[in-house]
Chains A and B, each alone.
Chain A
C-alpha cells in the first residue's frame, strides 16, 4: 500500500484525541474475556434490556403494527393485539406519508413533535412550540448537532460538569473545541457550586476561550451570577455518572430529555440555519420507529384505556425496582473498605469513590495504567464485573471512582455486591500498609470493620436525602 494512504500518522488529529471510556479499554477487555468463556456482568453502560429488563408491552405492540400495517387489515389481528394498540398504530401511521419506510421531515413528524410539545407543557406548566422540537436518533445525535453548530474552533469552550458522561468530552474533541470543566461537589452530594462555575469561566476566558450557553433558562440564573458573556453550558440532570438531582435551590429544576428543545433565545435566523443544517446533517430524517416510540413515551396509555393497567404495573414495577437497587448498591458500596458512595438519587448509575492506597497507585503506575483503570481491570478479572473507571468521566486530581449501573437484576444484586466486597477486601489487603493490616487480620472480621471505621470516620454518611421522585 502506498504510504500516502490513510494511516495513523495522517489521521484527523481530533479523532485521535477523542476518547470514550464507556466502550473503551475496560469494555474491550471484558469482551475478550467473554469470548474466552468467562461470565461477564456488563455494568459499563446504561443498557437496561441487556441486563434482563423487559420492554414495556404497549409500545412494542404499537410499533410492531406500524412495521406491518397489512396486519391491520387481517381479521385475526385482534387475537394478538389489543384494540387500543391497534387504534394507536393507525393514529401514528396516519401522521406519516408512507408509513415507517418514508423519510419524514428532517425534524421529525409534525404530529409527534406536537405530542412532545404538549408533554413538555403538561410537565413544566409553560408552553412549548412544536416548531422548536427536533426529534433525533437518540439524544447523542442531538448533542452532537448542537455542539457542531456552536463550536467553530479551539477558542470556543463548552462548560461541562466533571464528572460527566463522556459523550460531551468526546464530541468536543472531535469538533476541535475546548472542554471547560466545572467540578461538581462530591461532599455536597455532587451539587453544583456557583463559585466553582464562576472560577471555571474566569479561567477559560483568561485563556481566550469563549463559552457557550446551551440551556438558557438555567443559564439565565448563572448569567446573573457570572455577569459574563457565555457560550454554552452542559447540565446533566439527573446526573450521569453522579446520579444527583439538582435541587431547586441549586438551580431551577429542569430535565434534559431525549429531544432538543431549542430555547427561545436562539436568534431566529440561527434557528433557520440550524433547520437547514439538520436537513441533511447526519441523516435525512430520524428513524420513524424511534419517533413513534417517542410519541408513545410522551403520551402513554391513559386511565380507562385497555392497556392502562398493565402499562402502569410494568412501569411502576421497573421504577420501584430501580429505586430498591439504587439503595442496595449504595449501601453495599458504603459497607466496603475504603469505599464511599453518594446515594443514587436519579439516573441509572452508582459512582463510588475508591480510596486507593498509595501502594496500589504505585503498582498501577508500574503497570502503565491509570490507578482506577488498574483497579477496575483487577475487579473485572476477579469477578467478571465490567465497570468504567472514574477517569473516563473526569474527577478531581488524586480522587478515584468507578461507575457501575444499578441495572443488574434485583435477585442478582446481593451476589454481585458480595463479590465486589470480597474482591475489594482482598485488593485492600494486598495494597494497604502492612502493619495496620496484620493487627486486623489477627483480630478477625469485626476488628477489620472497627479499625476501618476508625480510619475513615467520614464514612459515617448521613442517611441519604429524601428520595425525590425522579423516575417518571
Chain B
C-alpha cells in the first residue's frame, strides 16, 4: 500500500507544481499566437507558465483521497490564510525555469536565474566573516583544541575565544540542551554588547536566544493574541512574517501606512487614527510593530520620530515590538541607528514605563548568516508573571541551536582593536558594508531612470522598493489573466530576464499603487548586467503597454 501510494504522491506532486493556478481559476484571454509583437510573446510566455495541470488522469485516484482524514477543507484555516510572498508563486516559477535551463540550456533568453527576492546574502556569493566561522568550527569540534596542529590552522584569538565560550558551557558540551533562554555566559556577553551599543545597561535575564528572530516574533504573537479581537499595529509595507504570524495566531492586523512621499516616514497622527478606527470596530490593539531599519522600505527612523513612537506606546499601553535586525545595515551618512531601548531610556523611561521587545538576528548585517539560525529578543518592561510565561513557552522547545547562540554572542561582541583578528575582521566587514552601500546607490539610480518608476533611497536594510506607474493597458492585461498588476509585471520580468523580485502586494501598499521589492545582494560585478537587462525589459514593457 505504501509503495503504491508513494508513487501516486510523486506523480501528483510533479504535476501540480503550480498549485496556485490549480486553486485559482485562471481565465486565459486569448492573444493571437501569430503576432510577433513583444506583447504577445510576453503574454504567451505568461500564459504557458500558468497552464493548469491535467486533472483528468487523477480522477480515478481522486476518490481515494475523499476518505483522507485531513483534507484541504479540514485543515486549520489559519494555515490556509497565511501568505508569505517572499517564497511564493514567483519563486516557484523561477525554480521551474531554472530546472528547464539546466535540462535545456538556451531554452530561455537568459543564462541564469538571478534571485533578488530574498535577503539571503551568502547564497549570492557573500562570504562569511572568517573569525566567526573559526570560533564556530572549534566549538563544534572542541576535541581539536588540544592538538598542537590546530594552532597552525586557526588564528590565536579564535582559539582563545573558543576556550572562553566553552568554559561557559558545562562540560564543554556543545551538543547538550542549554538553559531555555540560552547559555548564561553568552547572554552575559550579549547584554554587555547591548550596553556598549546603547550606553544603557542590559540584563542577561531579559534575553531569549532563538533560532533566528522569527521564532521570537511568533512567541510574542502567541502571548499577545487571544482572538480575532486582538489587533497588532503593523507598518504597511511590512515584512510579511508579521501578517503571516498574526493570521496564524488568529489575530487582526491593524495597518498604518508609511508615507512614500516623505521617504517612508511614519506619522503619529496616522497611528492614532488607525488605533481609533480599530477600537471603534471592537478591536483591542495590543502592540505596535516597528521595523527599523525598514523592510522592504529601507528607511532609518529619525530619532525624534522614535521618541514620538515611544510616547505613543506608553500612552496607549501598547507593547512596542521593535524589529531591529538590520541595525548594522546603514548606508547613508546622515542617518544613524538608535535602538528603541536607548531612545526610551534616554527619555527617562524605565522598566515601569514601557513594555518593549527588541529583535536581533545573525541573518543580516554584514555577517549574513541566514542558514545558521541565530537571534534573540530582549524583553523589558514586563511583570515577573509574564516573564515566567515567556520562559514556559520557550521551554517547550527546550532551547535554540547552540551554534546559533554562539554566533549571536560573536555578532554582539566581535573582535576589538588590538585583537589578532581585528584587522582582517574589520577589512571584511567594511568591504561588505561599503559594497552594499554602493549597490544600493547604483540600483536606486537605475530604478529612478526607468520610465514611470520612482524609488526612494535605501538608507538601510537590504532592499529597494521602487514604485511603478503601470499604464492602464497593463493593468487591464493583468486583470484579464486574473493576476495582480505588480505580480503580472514581476512574472513578465522573470520570463524575459531571469530576475526574481517580489511583487509589492506581498508586503502591502497603498491601494492603487504598485511596487516590487528587489534586494541589493547580487555580487557587485553582476549589478551592471542586472541593470541593463532590467532596463531593456522595462523599455519593452512600456512600449507594449504605454498605449
Q: Mark B107-131, 1 if CB is under 8 A from A, else 0.
A: 0000000000010111111101010
Among residues of A, the one whose C-beta sits closest to the C-beta of B367 is A101
| Residues B69 and A231 in contact, CB atoms below 8 Å apart | yes
Give 16 A-B contacts (CB < 8 Å), ordered by A residue: A1-B353, A2-B314, A6-B386, A50-B173, A60-B143, A67-B140, A68-B136, A76-B153, A77-B153, A80-B153, A98-B125, A103-B118, A127-B6, A174-B393, A264-B8, A268-B12
Q: Mark A36-71, 1 if CB is under 8 A from B, else 0.
A: 000000000101111010010100110111011111
Among residues of B, the one whose C-beta sits closest to the C-beta of A145 is B79
Measured in the bound complex, the distance between the Cα atoms of B74 and A151 in whole Å is 9
Interface residue from B244, B286, B318, B396 paired with A20 (Cβ < 8 Å): B396
B218: chain A residues within 8 A (beta carbon): 282
A270: chain B residues within 8 A (beta carbon): 68, 70-72, 75
Query: With A7-B385, A230-B69, A274-B75 given, can you name 10 additional A-B contacts, CB distance below 8 Å?
Result: A4-B317, A7-B383, A98-B122, A102-B371, A127-B3, A137-B401, A149-B70, A212-B70, A229-B69, A285-B373
B5: chain A residues within 8 A (beta carbon): 263-265
| Residues A12 and B223 in contact, CB atoms below 8 Å apart | yes
| Residues A1 and B133 in contact, CB atoms below 8 Å apart | no
Q: Mark A152-178, 1 if CB is under 8 A from B, else 0.
A: 100000000000000100110010000
Q: Mark A189-201, 1 if CB is under 8 A from B, else 0.
A: 0000000000000
Measured in the bound complex, the distance between the Cα atoms of B395 and A23 in whole Å is 6
| Residues B392 and A1 in contact, CB atoms below 8 Å apart | no
How many chain B residues sit at the interface, stated as a range, is: 35 or more
In the A-B complex, the 5 residue pairs with the closest CB atoms:
A2-B317, A4-B317, A264-B5, A280-B84, A64-B141
Among residues of A, the one whose C-beta sits closest to the C-beta of B220 is A6
Q: A379 in the interface, Cβ–Cβ < 8 Å?
A: no
| Residues A150 and B153 in contact, CB atoms below 8 Å apart | no
| Residues A128 and B6 in contact, CB atoms below 8 Å apart | yes
Q: B59 in the interface, Cβ–Cβ < 8 Å?
A: no
Measured in the bound complex, the distance between the Cα atoms of B534 and A464 in whole Å is 72
Q: A11 in the interface, Cβ–Cβ < 8 Å?
A: yes
Measured in the bound complex, the distance between the Cα atoms of B69 and A212 in whole Å is 7
| Residues A150 and B75 in contact, CB atoms below 8 Å apart | yes
* Contacts known (A79-B149, A102-B370, A270-B70); A4 close to B316, Cβ less than 8 A: yes
The majority secondary structure among interface residues of chain B is helix
Residues of chain A whose beta carbon lies under 8 Å from any beta carbon of chain B? 1-8, 10-16, 18-20, 22-24, 45, 47-50, 52, 55, 57, 60-61, 63-65, 67-71, 74, 76-77, 79-80, 96-104, 106, 126-129, 131-132, 137-138, 140-141, 144, 148-152, 167, 170-171, 174, 212-213, 216-217, 220, 229-232, 263-274, 276-277, 279-290
| Residues A49 and B12 in contact, CB atoms below 8 Å apart | no
Among residues of A, the one whose C-beta sits closest to the C-beta of B389 is A15
Distance (whole angstroms) from the CB of A470 to the closest CB of chain B: 21
Interface residue from B8, B122, B126, B149 paired with A76 (Cβ < 8 Å): B149
* Contacts known (A102-B370, A103-B371, A264-B6); A7 close to B386, Cβ less than 8 A: yes
Q: Mark B143-177, 1 if CB is under 8 A from A, else 0.
A: 11001011011000000000000000011011111
Measured in the bound complex, the distance between the Cα atoms of B324 and A442 in whole Å is 71
* Contacts known (A6-B224, A74-B153); A148 close to B79, Cβ less than 8 A: yes
Distance (whole angstroms) from the CB of A192 to the closest CB of chain B: 19
Q: B446 in the interface, Cβ–Cβ < 8 Å?
A: no
| Residues A1 and B70 in contact, CB atoms below 8 Å apart | no
Distance (whole angstroms) from the CB of A240 to the closest CB of chain B: 13
Measured in the bound complex, the distance between the Cα atoms of B363 and A103 in whole Å is 9
Measured in the bound complex, the distance between the Cα atoms of B70 and A126 in whole Å is 23
| Residues A269 and B19 in contact, CB atoms below 8 Å apart | yes
Measured in the bound complex, the distance between the Cα atoms of B68 and A267 in whole Å is 7
| Residues B2 and A55 in contact, CB atoms below 8 Å apart | no
Interface residue from A63, A170, A286 paired with B373 (Cβ < 8 Å): A286
Q: B431 in the interface, Cβ–Cβ < 8 Å?
A: no
A-B contact count (CB 8 A): 318
Distance (whole angstroms) from the CB of A300 to the closest CB of chain B: 16
Distance (whole angstroms) from the CB of A349 to the closest CB of chain B: 15
Distance (whole angstroms) from the CB of B315 to the closest CB of chain A: 7
Distance (whole angstroms) from the CB of A390 to the closest CB of chain B: 19
B47: chain A residues within 8 A (beta carbon): none
Determine which residue in B152, B316, B396 has the highest number of CB atoms from chain A within 10 A of its CB, and name it.
B396
| Residues B153 and A288 in contact, CB atoms below 8 Å apart | no
9-residue interface stretch from B35-43, B209-217, B408-416, B509-517? B209-217
Distance (whole angstroms) from the CB of A82 to the closest CB of chain B: 12
Distance (whole angstroms) from the CB of A27 to the closest CB of chain B: 8
Q: Mark B413-457, 1 if CB is under 8 A from A, else 0.
A: 000000000000000000000000000000000000000000000
B190-229, CB < 8 A from A: 211-212, 214-215, 218, 222-226
Interface residue from B19, B140, B144 paired with A80 (Cβ < 8 Å): B144
A104: chain B residues within 8 A (beta carbon): 371
Distance (whole angstroms) from the CB of A217 to the closest CB of chain B: 7
Measured in the bound complex, the distance between the Cα atoms of B170 and A150 in whole Å is 39
Measured in the bound complex, the distance between the Cα atoms of B481 and A178 in whole Å is 43
| Residues A23 and B87 in contact, CB atoms below 8 Å apart | no
| Residues B355 and A15 in contact, CB atoms below 8 Å apart | no
Interface residue from A48, A49, A129, A286 paired with B10 (Cβ < 8 Å): A129
Distance (whole angstroms) from the CB of B497 to the closest CB of chain A: 20
Among residues of A, the one whose C-beta sits closest to the C-beta of B217 is A282
B370: chain A residues within 8 A (beta carbon): 101-103, 284-285
Among residues of B, the one whose C-beta sits closest to the C-beta of A219 is B69
Q: B354 in the interface, Cβ–Cβ < 8 Å?
A: yes
Q: B82 in the interface, Cβ–Cβ < 8 Å?
A: yes
B79-93, CB < 8 A from A: 79-80, 82, 84, 86-88
Measured in the bound complex, the distance between the Cα atoms of B136 and A57 in whole Å is 16
| Residues B123 and A98 in contact, CB atoms below 8 Å apart | yes
A52: chain B residues within 8 A (beta carbon): 171
